[in-house]
Amino acid sequence: MSKKSTVHAKLPTKWGHFTIYALEKSCDGKEHVALAMGELDQEEPLLIRIHSECLTGDAFSSLRCDCGPQLEAAMKKISEVGRGMIVYLRQEGRGIGLVNKIRAYALQDEGQDTVEANINLGFQADHRSFEVAAEILTSLNVSKVKLMTNNPRKVEALQEANIDVVERVPLQYGRNPHNEDYLSTKHGKLGHFLDQ
């Protein structure tokens, strides 16, 4: 991806002034965005968060997941250091889409966990790809990062794409009584680094 395939504009937020980059063409054909603050192409590693879209958590403050609080915490951390990026991927519902995510919620209401629900709908436990995140970082000249994540797959995906992950920064926010089982499943079945 070349810089010609990005458009950008200023985006003031309650955590400070970001620049939003919209990617017109990506390897998966979807429209993704990156929110950046400060200089990107310095030698110093860039603090980043790869965040998959979660309409229910990010926009509606759902307590079924920890997505919204993680996104807010990441933006706040970037604001505090004055430099960083959120790579926001259009991969709703761990990659299965919004309608299937609601179907998975219904199965969870009947007692299945998040992994069982996805599999019973005919998907992988985690259907996402993080290849496009590496593509976005490369297009914006970011090659060395401190990655805010609890998901080992994100670290591996960036390393495989020759992005130097110099540090994994834990991001554990949003635990509540409604998502205890969800977080336990992410830790036990998906290998996320979460305090139990």
Was 8 annotated as part of a binding site?
A: no
DSSP per-residue codes, 112-173: --HHHHHHHTTS-SS----HHHHHHHHHTT--EEEEE-S-HHHHHHHHHTT-EEEEEE----
49 is in an annotated binding site: yes
Task: Please pick, among 58, 66, 113, 128, the residue that the annotation labels catalytic.
Answer: 128
13 is in an annotated binding site: no
Is 64 annotated in the active site? no
Cβ–Cβ under 8 Å, residues 39 and 50: no
Question: Would you say 154 is a known binding-site residue?
Answer: yes
93 is in an annotated binding site: yes
Was 27 annotated as part of a binding site? no
Select which of 90, 126, 164, 181 is catalytic: 126
Is 128 known to be catalytic? yes
Is residue 51 annotated as involved in ligand binding? Answer: yes
> DSSP label at 106?
H
Edge to edge, the sheet with strand 84-89 lists 6-13, 16-23, 32-37, 84-89, 46-52, 144-148, 164-169
Residue 3 annotated as binding? no
- Residues annotated within the binding site are 49-54, 65, 67, 70, 92-94, 114, 149, 154
- Residues annotated within the binding site for Zn(2+) are 54, 65, 67
- Residues annotated within the binding site for GTP are 49-53, 70, 92-94, 114, 149, 154
Query: Residues with catalytic annotation?
Result: 126, 128
